[in-house]
Amino acid sequence: MNRPNDKLPVYRLTQNVIRAKADQFRLDYWRLDKIPVDIDLAIERYGLDIAPLPGLRALCAQEACVSMDCSTIWVDYTPANNLAQDFRLRFSLAHELGHLLLHREILEWIPQSGVQSVLEWAKRIREVSADLYSSRLEKDADEFAGRLLVPRNDLERETRKVLDATPNQQYLRSFRADPVREHLARKIHRAFQVNVPVIETRLRIEEVYP
């Protein structure tokens, strides 16, 4: 048993705190006011190792995982892959970083006894998140990753560019918001090197559109 104590750590971060942590991390470790954020460089500057573990995705249905000693993020890629082109993998790296920066004390609290493999460890993290924290940890890591890779100012600016180039904005605004958000996201997601749904989510929860 590897728990500092048996008491379940209390955990409650507001969305504003999570966003502030993501903004601060970007400022400290990416350092440039420029998109796309080079997430693997920033993670290495922070002092974590990124270690390729080909086959991770097939093994445990996720692309990345924090190691048990919290020193490394394992990731399902080989040096032959182009990380910058793998938008999903970039988000996974930022998500795992979120686990570490937002609730490291819980990762350290999770019992490691009986864990024999990466698969078992990844499973145990997910179970703890789902059972004890109502999946709060996963949602918060997603929020951290989204905000880190999609800074709000840049999102607003890129959205504004597309809207300004639209001949009749009033016409666009007469549609339901969901399909318009998807349209906007398809136009701008490449600038951030994230997948379309990540931008759709940011537009909605950061109230950039509508």
Contact footprint for Zn ion (CB under 5 A): 138, 141
Alpha-carbon distances of 127 from 42, 131, 134, 181, rounded to whole Å: 29, 6, 10, 33
Q: How far is CA 50 from the centre of its chain?
A: 15
Q: How far is CA 141 from the centre of its chain?
A: 6
Question: Which one, 138 or 182, has the nearer CB to Zn ion?
Answer: 138
Question: Half-sphere exposure of 57 toward its Cβ, with a 13 Å CA cutoff?
Answer: 10
Question: Which one, 64 or 199, has the nearer CB to Zn ion?
Answer: 64
Question: Which one, 108 or 138, has the nearer CB to Zn ion?
Answer: 138
Question: Which one, 73 or 180, has the nearer CB to Zn ion?
Answer: 73
Cβ at position 99, least distance to Zn ion in Å: 6
Cβ at position 45, least distance to Zn ion in Å: 22
Cβ at position 33, least distance to Zn ion in Å: 28
Bridge-based pairing state of the strands 64-66 and 49-52: unpaired
Residue 140 and residue 98 in contact, taking contact as beta carbons nearer than 8 Å = yes
Cβ at position 16, least distance to Zn ion in Å: 21
Question: Which one, 46 or 166, has the nearer CB to Zn ion?
Answer: 46
Separation between Cα atoms, residue 76 and residue 89, nearest integer Å: 8
Residue 209 and residue 177 in contact, taking contact as beta carbons nearer than 8 Å = yes
Closest CA to 142 of 188, 66, 60, 202: 202
Cβ at position 156, least distance to Zn ion in Å: 28
